[in-house]
Amino acid sequence: MKKTLRTIIVEDEELARNLLKEYLKEIPSVQIIGEFADGFSGAKAINEMKPDLLFLDIQMPKLTGFELLEILDYKPKIIFTTAFDQFAIKAFEMNAVDYLLKPYSRERFRNAVDKVYEQMKTGQEIPIAEITKHIDRSGEKLERVVVKSGKKISVIATREIDYLEAQDDYVMLYCSSGKYLKQKTMNYFETHLDPKQFIRVHRSYIVNVDQINRLELYEKDTYRIHLKNGSTVPVSKTGLKRLKSGLDF
Amino acid sequence: MHPILKHKTSRLYFIMAWILITAIHVLVLSFFYRVEISYALVDGIIFNVILAVIAIGLWYPVKFMRLGENRKIGLVLNYLGVGVLTITIWLTAGYFIVEMILGEDNEHITFLDQSMPWRVVSGVLVYLVVLLIYYLILYYSDLQEKVRLEADLKTLVKESELNMLKSQINPHFIFNSLNSINSLILADHQKAQDMIIKLSEFLRYALKYNQKEKIRLNDELYNTNLYLEIEKIRFGEKLQVEIRIPEEYGTCLIPNMILQPLIENAIKHGVYESIETVKIEMDTQVSQDCLNITITNNFDPEQPGRKGNGMGLKNVQNRLMLIYNRSDLFSWETDGTVFIARLSVPYEV
């Protein structure tokens, strides 16, 4: 007798969910404990219900499948179901068990579930931080950041960030709507934010150039940036060089 | 390759021109200088045949020097050198052959010696005229080539752009629809069949109409509706559509597949990104010889990031530019939670 797999489906189309449920009917050891049509409610439910298995679509309202994984405290086995074939590499980098390209057959589906059982038998477990770390390798520029504080999940457009400040293992994002703590490194943001818009002016600070009001001499040789929202940010020597080349002055 | 030898007609003109020149040469000699007609004939034919051969050969230095694109002074010096060489060869060879035919002691040889300065002058003139003709030929063929290239380029650009625009049906739309059909086959045969028929009909339209540039509004609407109905099966109540287009405009001509990307854009940024109901509305009016179509949809303004208004809308703009050569026919704006796209096309029936 196979171990029962408690399963959540996160998929925005009803027909696609129906298909999954239909295929799952013949695999009684997989038990559906919830289905969700968007990333927000899906993420919340996964953190609370801690399923063993997750069927996850990528293109969804509110949060994409990848963004959803970023805010999970708990990591189930994941099978992606999507019509996008260009995300397959990224999905496996995030240690997905399988990647089902829509439309997929019953055999292909069964095969994916078998893989889950096999992985559980060999006992390969990868901590969530290890998985999301791999996202960094994709070259595309960051357009939004998903932050979770307590039970609240916020999606922040990067252009709305005024500046970022290093805080131990975290980075604080300062926006007009408030400040958000994200478990990422400064280097991550430096390499992933659009370098035309964000400049690392200090070991501990990255500034959105659109938010700069003026640059002022503070003490001899040290400068400070005054932002439009009134806060000030220190500038290091290399930071000043980067500012000069980035803003052409 | 040689512009004169290349064509039968140009060869003929060339020979006729030289026969004419030779005839004038002979006549001038016999009438004005009272040279005996047989001597005049020998003189005229020998010198002009040599000159004609040299004229043909001159094409090669002209072509060669043009390829080098030398500076002006270099060019003049080169032509001067070629000219001196040409005329020297011409006169030496002519003199030599005539002397061979007529014998050294002939009285005509004396005349030949005396007329040498005039022959030099006429040689220079012919040399310059030949150069001029070659330059004209080059200029003309360059011009033709340029016109041809430009026309080629234009059709190429147009074709490639149309191809690019044609390919804007989102493949994910197709695969997601197939997935929905896959699901419906198990749940509802009849609906699955409906959806396959609609999808096929829509794809056939999208593939077929790529060459013809304009179609009747009614036909475009019919096909846009197919697309919308497929999306409605996928998204159910989440997608609401209201098309208000008076029947009398149905025969107006619009570019084919021009509404589809606008609808697709509305669905992509409205329906795909929202969990609320999204309503797409379409209206038409006629004003100032234009058919104006407005497409609106509500969207979730909380949805941050995501590049909006990308390729789809730009393509519509480019295509209208391509067809009507006007950039003022398409615009879009957002008003709170509503996105509005305005399209006008010159009124045609």
- Tens-digit pLDDT profile for residues A64-81: 898 899 888 888 999 999
- Which fold is adopted by the domain A5-135? Rossmann fold (3.40.50)
If asked whether residues B24 and B64 sit together in one domain, one would say: yes
Whether A143 sits inside 8 A of B272 (CB atoms) is: no
Within a domain: B311: yes
Q: Which residues of B fall within a CB distance of 8 Å from A19?
A: 179, 182-183, 186
pLDDT band at B199 (very low <50, low <70, confident <90, very high): very high
Place of tokens 């077929």: B208
CA separation, residue A14 to residues A63, A79, B147, B239 (Å): 17, 18, 58, 13
Query: Residue B210 pLDDT > 70, yes or no?
Result: no
Within a domain: B190: yes
Nearest residue in chain B measured CA to CA from A64: B273
Q: What is the pLDDT of residues B11-41, one digit of tens each?
A: 999 999 999 999 998 998 888 888 888 888 8
Instruction: Report ipTM (2 d.p.).
Output: 0.70
pLDDT band at B68 (very low <50, low <70, confident <90, very high): low
* Contact pairs from chain A to chain B, CB under 8 Å: 74
A194 in B contact zone (CB under 8 Å): no
Ordered DSSP codes for B1-42: --TTTSSHHHHHHHHHHHHHHHHHHHHHHHHHS---HHHHHH
A101 in B contact zone (CB under 8 Å): yes
User: Can you give the residue range of the structural domain that contains B200?
Assistant: 167-346
If asked whether residues B116 and B202 sit together in one domain, one would say: no
> Do residues A164 and A206 lie in contact, with contact meaning Cβ atoms separated by under 8 Å?
yes
Within a domain: B153: yes
- Span A56-62, average pLDDT: 89
A139-247 and A5-135 share a CATH fold: no
Q: How far apart are CA B300 and CA B308, in angstroms?
A: 12
**Listed range (A4-18, A191-205, A225-239, B67-81) with the worst mean pLDDT:** B67-81
Residue that is last in its domain, among B136, B164, B192: B164
Q: What is the pLDDT of residues A89-138, one digit of tens each?
A: 778 877 889 999 999 999 999 999 999 998 888 876 554 455 455 544 44
Q: How far apart are CA A147 and CA A153, in angstroms?
A: 6
| Strand A98-101 versus strand A77-82 pairing type | parallel
Hey, what's the torsion of the CAs at B186, B190, B196, B198, to 10 degrees?
A: -140
Please state which architecture CATH assigns to domain A139-247: Beta Barrel (2.40)
pLDDT band at B304 (very low <50, low <70, confident <90, very high): low
If asked whether residues B121 and B186 sit together in one domain, one would say: no
Min Cα–Cα distance to chain A from B303, Å = 6
Within a domain: B2: no
B304 in A contact zone (CB under 8 Å): yes
If asked whether residues B23 and B143 sit together in one domain, one would say: yes
Provide the angle, in degrees to the nearest 10, between the axes of the packed helices B107-166 and B37-57: 30
If asked whether residues B21 and B78 sit together in one domain, one would say: yes
If asked whether residues B178 and B316 sit together in one domain, one would say: yes
Q: Which residues of A fall within a CB distance of 8 Å from B183?
A: 15-16, 18-19, 22
If asked whether residues B110 and B226 sit together in one domain, one would say: no
B77 HSE (CA, 13 A, CB side): 5
Place of tokens 């990255």: A206
Residue that is last in its domain, among B131, B164, B197: B164
- CA-based diameter of chain A, in Å? 75
Q: How far apart are CA B253 and CA B214, in angstroms?
A: 6
Number of domains comprising chain B: 2
Q: What is the pLDDT of residue A136?
A: 46
Whether B304 sits inside 8 A of A144 (CB atoms) is: yes
If asked whether residues B129 and B271 sit together in one domain, one would say: no
Place of tokens 């289905």: A35
Residue A120 neighbours by CB under 8 Å, 6+ apart? A3, A77
If asked whether residues B159 and B174 sit together in one domain, one would say: no
> Do residues A171 and A164 lie in contact, with contact meaning Cβ atoms separated by under 8 Å?
yes
Average pLDDT score over chain B: 85
Whether A61 sits inside 8 A of B275 (CB atoms) is: yes
A37 in B contact zone (CB under 8 Å): yes
CATH of the domain at B181: 3.30.565.10
Distance of CA B289 to the CA centre of its chain: 30
Query: How many Å from the N-terminal Cα to the C-terminal Cα in chain B?
Result: 51
> Do residues A109 and A86 lie in contact, with contact meaning Cβ atoms separated by under 8 Å?
no
> Do residues B53 and B122 lie in contact, with contact meaning Cβ atoms separated by under 8 Å?
no
Whether B182 sits inside 8 A of A18 (CB atoms) is: no
**Listed range (A220-224, B90-94, B269-273, B308-312) with the worst mean pLDDT:** B308-312
Residue A111 neighbours by CB under 8 Å, 6+ apart? A98
A49 in B contact zone (CB under 8 Å): no
pTM, two decimal places? 0.62
| Joined tokens for residue B155 | 């059709």
Domain ranges of chain A: 5-135, 139-247
Within a domain: B274: yes
Residue B29 neighbours by CB under 8 Å, 6+ apart? B35, B39, B40, B43, B44
Within a domain: B1: no
Within a domain: B3: no
Residue that is last in its domain, among B164, B187, B218: B164
